[in-house]
Structure 1
Amino acid sequence: MSNVRRDFADDLLAFLPVGLSLAECRQPMSGFVEVVAKVAERRAVDARGLTVRARLHLPRVARSDGTVGRRVALAEVIRSARHLSADIAAIRGLVPSGEIRGLDDLRFVVYDDDKAFAVFSHLHYLRSARPGSLNFALVDRSSGLPVALCSATPLDWRRLGGVLERRFGVPPREVWDISRVYSFQVAPHSAISRLLAQVRRWFRRERRDASLLVTTVDPNMGFTGTSYRAANWQEWLRVRPRPYLYLNRQYISPRQLRQQFGTTNKDELRERLGVRLEISRAALLDSSIYCWRIRGATETVPSSELHRLRR
């Protein structure tokens, strides 16, 4: 906590209960969220972005029963704020700062790949961009700066593709994954829903070979899928959780591990990386797969009939 005055840190601890849990940290109205907001204000970073980053890294320090020490949780929030501040500074020229009065101030564009890569690699909570993506954005009409962005990537998850074909009649080659979504603090209400609707229209017009958009919503980050449901996406599947992985105290995805080390086998990675690799122990929630047919209505699936997919 070297970058935060000790008396300030002690004041923040009063907002966190003894026996703090990951479940409580996921709640939109909680002492944890209030603490994040105060740290974000002090560091001049987006509270929403900081909240998601902190939630991603708390499982690293959580006990197997899902509880986490108050001081440890606060240290993770402060560390995440420091990294987020550095990431914002690294791409300052792409960060919008003016007032956006409403959706009419924004224009839909197919966005520059290099700029999208910079935004997703620094500000998306996973801090990575997916190669081979098409990138879209709502940009400020005055400055041309992005306000909300997303990436669409050809589906490369074989098991999901197989289920979509068997249960819904959609060939995997016709499926595109909304693999990254990010909105800046200045984004007006419903910006993501508007962006997704424009992306669907673009695919309907430009890609006759595409018939379905999919995305994964992880409730462990506090995500609820509201923006997708507002744009008429439907939950079709659920995904069993797997532990989060961390390299040098930073989250790393299995895809990134495979790219860097040629394997996702935990035993091999432990042997090579030692204590640099950490694996979360607490139970995590299922993720949801939301789908949206590019042409025509998207059928609903009763919650009792949702297939549970294994990664």
Structure 2
Amino acid sequence: MVSTPPQQKASVARPAGSPAAPLTVAPVRSATVSLDECRGHDSEFAELARKAAERNNVEPRALIVRTLLHLPRVARRDGQIRWRQIETELARCSTELRADQAKVADLLPHANFKLQELLFVRYDGRLAEQIFGHLHYLRSARPGSLNYALVDPRYGQPVSLCSVSPLEWKRVGSQITRQFDVPMSAVWDISRVYSFAVAPPNAISYLLSRVRTAIRQAAPQVELLSTAVDPNLGFTGSSYLAANWHRWMTIKPRPYLYFDRGYMSPRQLRAAFQTTNVAELRATFDNRFEQSQATLLDSMIFCCRTRGETENVPEGLQRRLHR
């Protein structure tokens, strides 16, 4: 045992008769942290990411989400990650995001406006594809989508935007048809959402409310809107709840897949390599292909009827789907 040197005990002078100041000890950060601890908005990881975003002049929320997407690649089976690995991933994602922002620099909004000042518009598909392709954490746009945005009234720059497209997830569509009697052909998906740092509070929920009305006019055959929310990236679905959407089911997760350290969705893997078979990819690409080992959280499926009220499904009645 190491004792405290006497000179340290008496190093702070105080007036005679005053009570001793309480001894404060700075908390010692553990060598590792869990994926679950990193997902919180006020987590130590989030604060570290915000500082990294400020240093690199990138969107803080975009950096947090993009890094959370890549942390499972380096996490252990028990979900623990070393801080040094987190710092490495933050640095890599910051560099990548900074380069991506530069490619769409003319589309980035900089001015702050109140929510009631923003204009709701049908947004140009080519421009939406550039934003989703570079700034969204999936770095891709959904082909054949309708795109909507809240734009600033002065420059017309998008502040929050989303894409809406026919639902392609057959497992979800089949469950909606069986449980709620809505044919899959009448279900459209909020396939992408992106909101810039200058967006005012409640921008996404307001955008979703306006999109619901717009879809009734643009695609009257659509009865239901759906979306998948991934809590592994820190998303909670609060914006959907605020827009009167409800969680109807959950889906068991699959491991995240990575090629050359970059995340690839099953859709992207199939387009690039004509397969999503893990064994085939590993045999072909060896160490260039990886998949996460830690247990991930279920995705949540939120839904909203385009007409009338949306049913609230009690948690006990929500089905857990397998992929």
TM-score (norm 1): 0.93
1:287 and 1:224 map into 2 onto residues whose CA distance is: 10
Which residue identity lines up with residue 241 of structure 2 in the other structure?
Answer: R
Given that residues 257 and 264 in structure 2 are in contact (C-alpha distance below 8 angstroms), is that contact kept between their aligned partners in structure 1?
Answer: yes
Q: Secondary structure at the match of 1:83?
A: helix
Q: Secondary structure at the match of 1:20?
A: strand
Measured against aligned partners, the alpha-carbon deviations of 1:18-53 in whole angstroms (never above 9, x if no partner) come to: 221101101111211111111111111121111111
1:235 and 1:77 map into 2 onto residues whose CA distance is: 31
Alignment correspondent of 1:202? 214
- Structure 2 residue aligned with 1:89, among 102, 112, 117? 102
Query: 1:138 and 2:153 equivalent?
Result: no
Which residue identity lines up with residue 208 of structure 1 in the other structure?
Answer: P
Measured against aligned partners, the alpha-carbon deviations of 1:123-180 in whole angstroms (never above 9, x if no partner) come to: 0011111111111111111101111010111011111111100000100000000010
Alignment correspondent of 1:42? 55
Query: 1:213 and 2:225 equivalent?
Result: yes
Give structure 1 stretches of 5+ with no counterpart: 1-13
Alignment correspondent of 1:51? 64
1:15 is displaced (CA, Å) by 8.4
Alignment correspondent of 1:246? 258
1:163 and 1:73 map into 2 onto residues whose CA distance is: 38
Alignment correspondent of 1:175? 187
Which residue identity lines up with residue 185 of structure 2 in the other structure?
Answer: R
Query: 1:107 and 2:122 equivalent?
Result: no
- Structure 1 residue aligned with 2:268, among 245, 253, 256? 256
1:46 and 1:95 map into 2 onto residues whose CA distance is: 10
1:74 is displaced (CA, Å) by 0.8
Give structure 2 stretches of 5+ with no counterpart: 1-26
Alignment correspondent of 1:24? 37
Alignment correspondent of 1:186? 198
Given that residues 219 and 285 in structure 1 are in contact (C-alpha distance below 8 angstroms), is that contact kept between their aligned partners in structure 2?
Answer: yes
Query: 1:224 and 2:232 equivalent?
Result: no
Alignment correspondent of 1:267? 279
Given that residues 137 and 146 in structure 1 are in contact (C-alpha distance below 8 angstroms), is that contact kept between their aligned partners in structure 2?
Answer: yes
Given that residues 60 and 280 in structure 1 are in contact (C-alpha distance below 8 angstroms), is that contact kept between their aligned partners in structure 2?
Answer: yes
Alignment correspondent of 1:9? none
Measured against aligned partners, the alpha-carbon deviations of 1:54-96 in whole angstroms (never above 9, x if no partner) come to: 1000000000110011101111011111111111111000001
1:16 and 1:246 map into 2 onto residues whose CA distance is: 29
1:79 and 1:260 map into 2 onto residues whose CA distance is: 23
Given that residues 16 and 70 in structure 1 are in contact (C-alpha distance below 8 angstroms), is that contact kept between their aligned partners in structure 2?
Answer: no
1:271 is displaced (CA, Å) by 1.7
1:247 is displaced (CA, Å) by 0.8
- Structure 2 residue aligned with 1:151, among 151, 163, 179? 163
1:206 is displaced (CA, Å) by 2.4
Alignment correspondent of 2:303? 291
Given that residues 61 and 280 in structure 1 are in contact (C-alpha distance below 8 angstroms), is that contact kept between their aligned partners in structure 2?
Answer: yes
1:269 and 1:296 map into 2 onto residues whose CA distance is: 46
Which residue identity lines up with residue 48 of structure 2 in the other structure?
Answer: V
Alignment correspondent of 2:19? none
Note the aligned Cα RMSD (angstroms): 1.1
Alignment correspondent of 1:278? 290
Greater displacement, 200-209 / 239-248: 200-209
Given that residues 112 and 199 in structure 2 are in contact (C-alpha distance below 8 angstroms), is that contact kept between their aligned partners in structure 1?
Answer: no
